Amino acid sequence: MNETPTESELDWVLVLAPFRKDAEYIAAFLREEKVAVNHGRTGKDLIHHLSLSPGVIVITHEALSPPVVASIGEHIAAQPDWSEVPILVLLERAAPITRIRSQLERSWPGSRLLFHTRPIAPLELVNSIQSNLLVRLRQKQVRDAIEREVELRLELNHRIKNILASVTSIFQMTRRGAATVEDLAADFTGRLQALSKVHTAVFEAGGDEVSLSSVVDLTVSPYNSDGLSRIHVRGPDVSIGRNSATTIALCLHELITNALKYGALSQKDGTVDIAWAISDDAAPLLSLHWDEAGGPRVIEPTRQGYGTRYIRAALASLFGSAPDIAFAPDGFRCRVVGPLGRLQQS
Residues 208 and 345: their CA atoms lie apart, in Å, by: 9
Asked if 137 contacts 10 with a C-beta cutoff of 8 angstroms, the reply is yes
Q: Are residues 94 and 240 in the same domain?
A: no
Q: Which amino acid is at 256?
A: I
For residues 168, 171, 176, 179, the Cα torsion angle rounded to the nearest 10 degrees is: -170
Q: Are residues 51 and 107 in the same domain?
A: yes
CA atoms within 13 A on the CB side of 236: 10
Asked if 252 contacts 292 with a C-beta cutoff of 8 angstroms, the reply is no
Q: Are residues 245 and 330 in the same domain?
A: yes
Q: Are residues 184 and 139 in the same domain?
A: no
Q: How many CB atoms lie within 10 A of CB 286?
A: 24
Residues 2 and 134: their CA atoms lie apart, in Å, by: 12
Its pTM surpasses 0.85 = no
Paired strand residues for 118: 92
Q: Are residues 124 and 202 in the same domain?
A: no
Question: In the chain, how many domains are there?
Answer: 2
Residues 219 and 257: their CA atoms lie apart, in Å, by: 11
- Residue 169, in any domain of the structure: no
Q: Which amino acid is at 330?
A: D
Q: Is the dihedral of CA 220, 226, 229, 230 positive or negative?
A: negative
Q: Are residues 134 and 229 in the same domain?
A: no
CATH of the domain at 64: 3.40.50.2300
Would you list the DSSP string of 11-67? --EEEE--STTHHHHHHHHHHHTT--EEE--STHHHHHHHHT--SEEEEEGGG--HH
pLDDT tens for the chain, 346 residues long, are: 344 444 455 688 999 988 778 788 888 888 888 888 887 776 678 888 898 889 999 999 989 999 999 999 999 999 988 888 999 999 988 889 899 999 999 999 988 999 999 888 888 888 898 898 988 888 888 888 888 888 878 766 766 775 676 677 567 656 766 778 888 888 788 777 766 776 676 666 666 788 899 888 888 876 775 566 888 999 999 999 888 888 888 888 888 878 888 899 888 889 999 999 999 888 899 999 999 999 999 988 887 776 788 889 889 999 999 999 999 999 999 999 999 999 988 6
Residue in 108, 11, 9, 109 with CA at minimum distance from that of residue 53: 11
- Residue 167, in any domain of the structure: no
E strand residue ranges, 155-234: 209-211, 231-234
Which residues are CB-contacts of 273 (< 8 A; sequence separation ≥ 6)? 232, 234, 289, 290, 291, 292, 293
Asked if 279 contacts 287 with a C-beta cutoff of 8 angstroms, the reply is yes
Rounded to 5 degrees, φ, ψ at 300 are: -65, 130
- Residue 271, in any domain of the structure: yes
Are β-strands 285-293 and 331-339 bridged in parallel, bridged antiparallel, or unpaired? antiparallel
Q: Are residues 186 and 113 in the same domain?
A: no
Residues 112 and 56: their CA atoms lie apart, in Å, by: 9
Q: Which domain holds residue 322?
A: 178-345
Q: Are residues 62 and 194 in the same domain?
A: no
Residues 330 and 316: their CA atoms lie apart, in Å, by: 25
Are β-strands 239-241 and 37-39 bridged in parallel, bridged antiparallel, or unpaired? unpaired
E strand residue ranges, 148-188: none
Residues 142 and 161: their CA atoms lie apart, in Å, by: 29
Cα 30 to chain centroid distance, Å, stands at: 39
pLDDT value, residue 289: 97
Q: Are residues 235 and 295 in the same domain?
A: yes
CATH of the domain at 219: 3.30.565.10
- Residue 214, in any domain of the structure: yes
